[in-house]
């Protein structure tokens, strides 16, 4: 039962990078939208909250892009980040439907 562990390889870097750029942007957008709807004072808050939401996207996107290289291969990165996007945009649609 002694199985060799799969090592992380650099040959999947292009697929992982594309997943982090494309799906990371979508995930950052959905999470920022969730904070806009569910955060303090809701969606109708003043300009300071809108500015904060705009600046919140960059660190989330950078974090996703940084951690995407921990996936074993690019297919797993695409699948997991795709599932995270579906979940985040689903929660955003639900929040908008409930709070509208």
* Predicted confidence (pLDDT) per residue in 13-68, tens digit: 999 999 999 999 999 999 999 998 888 877 777 778 888 888 999 999 999 999 99
Instruction: Give how many domains the chain has, as a whole number.
Output: 1
As a whole number of angstroms, the distance between CA 72 and CA 3 comes to: 16
Dihedral of CA atoms 85, 90, 95, 98 in degrees, nearest 10, equals 170
In a domain, 55, yes or no: yes
What does the block give as tokens for 71? 């996936």
User: What does the alpha-carbon distance between residue 96 and residue 77 come to, in Å, rounded to a whole number?
Assistant: 28
Q: How far apart are CA 14 and CA 67, in angstroms?
A: 14
What pLDDT digit, counting tens, does each position of 53-75 carry?
889 999 999 999 999 999 989 99
- Domain housing 84: 12-99
Write out the two tokens for 16: 């992982």
Residue 5 domain-assigned (yes or no): no
**Does some domain include residue 53?**
yes
Residue 7 lies in a domain: no
**Whole-prediction pTM value?**
0.84
């Amino acid at each position: 039962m002694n199985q060799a562990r799969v090592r992380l390889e650099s040959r999947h870097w292009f697929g992982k990078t594309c997943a982090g750029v494309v799906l990371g942007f979508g995930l950052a957008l959905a999470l920022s939208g969730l904070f806009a709807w569910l955060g303090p004072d809701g969606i109708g808050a003043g300009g300071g909250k809108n500015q904060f939401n705009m600046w919140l996207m960059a660190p989330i996107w950078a974090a996703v892009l940084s951690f995407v290289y921990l996936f074993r291969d690019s297919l797993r990165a695409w699948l997991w980040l795709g599932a995270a996007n579906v979940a985040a945009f689903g929660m955003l649609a639900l929040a908008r439907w409930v709070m509208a």
